[in-house]
């Protein structure tokens, strides 16, 4: 085997590896740093999480329903807003009532052991193709209480794993 052929094989293997990595990041998994305290103690400021993007590719095509309770990463309305990490509380068609520190969805009080007390008063019906999101640390979270329901097309994916710092390594609950 000639040296030129060996170099061509190595270059081809490298190009294939890069294409696979790019496809994984574009369509399946993407890392995200967490800067906000809005999801503490589920996801903390300084954590780095791995987001499964494949689930929301399926959701956009109607092949997977949106799931209440999952923690998602979504794009802000403007590019400078960046990304947000929040928990889905309401799905399309839900009737949300927030009153006296309690969240009610379709007349059922949510049990939220992960959440701090909810503030404010709100009554809202979630439109088609939208979700209602709240941070678990409700006192400091800017969420659907302030900017309204989030269009499903803005969801990047579901948070599945905290991988950094290693002391917090584990699945996102």
Any idea which residues carry the catalytic annotation?
Answer: 38, 86
Query: What's the per-residue H, E or C state across the chain?
Result: CCHHHHHHHHHHHHHHHHHHHHHHHHHHEEEEECCCCCCCCCCCCCCEEEEECHHHHHHHCCCCCCCCCCEEEEECCCHHHCEEEEEEEECCCCEEEEECCEEEECCEECCCCCCCCCCCCEEEECCCCEEEEECCCCCCCCCHHHHCCEEHHHEEEEEEEEEECHHHCEECC
């Amino acid at each position: 085997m000639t040296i030129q052929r060996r170099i061509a094989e190595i270059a081809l293997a490298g190009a294939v590896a890069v294409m696979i990595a790019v496809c994984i990041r574009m369509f399946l998994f993407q890392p995200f740093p967490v800067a906000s305290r809005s999801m503490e103690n589920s996801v903390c400021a300084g954590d780095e999480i791995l987001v499964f993007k494949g689930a929301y590719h399926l959701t956009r095509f109607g092949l997977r329903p949106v799931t209440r309770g999952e923690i998602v990463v979504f794009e802000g309305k403007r590019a400078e807003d960046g990304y947000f990490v929040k928990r889905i509380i309401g799905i399309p068609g839900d009737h949300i009532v927030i009153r006296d520190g309690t969240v009610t969805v379709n007349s059922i009080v949510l049990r939220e052991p992960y959440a701090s007390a909810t503030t404010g008063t709100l009554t809202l019906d979630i439109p088609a193709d939208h979700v209602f999101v709240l941070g678990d640390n409700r006192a400091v979270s800017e969420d659907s209480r302030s900017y309204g329901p989030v269009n499903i097309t803005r969801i990047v994916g579901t948070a599945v794993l905290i991988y950094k710092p290693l002391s917090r390594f584990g699945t996102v609950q």
